[in-house]
Amino acid sequence: MLTAILLISIFIDYKYHTRLYNSRRERILIPIIFLILGSIWDTFAIWRGHWTFSGSGLIGIKIGLMPLEEYLFMLIIPYAILTHYKALKKEI
């Protein structure tokens, strides 16, 4: 699912030239900030027992308390949301 969302977002980004970032530095720094803040939030929530990640739908690779999919989610979903928002804003 994350792969499909990423591919669709990349397509929309190129088709509508959304220009999410003004520089290469922003292109690297902003996703890292999302990743750090999301990792802290999720790790705390898992540690407190608010939610868990279990099931057959996971790859099985864990980094700390979270599966790899959660880190990918934190990188792909904000990119997809911003890309779709900018593309829709251009079309209106």
Cα 62 to its chain centre, rounded Å, is 17
Please list the alpha-helical segments (H only) found in 17-67. 24-48
Average confidence (pLDDT) over 73-87:
93
Task: Return d(Cα 4, Cα 81) in angstroms, integer.
Answer: 14
Give tens-digit pLDDT for 23-54: 999 989 999 999 999 999 999 999 999 988 88
Query: Is the distance from CB of 4 to CB of 76 less than 8 angstroms?
Result: no
Residue-level pLDDT at 20: 86
Give tens-digit pLDDT for 46-62: 999 998 888 777 888 99
Q: Read off the pTM.
A: 0.84
Longest distance between any two alpha carbons in the chain, whole Å:
43
Query: Is the distance from CB of 43 to CB of 8 less than 8 angstroms?
Result: no
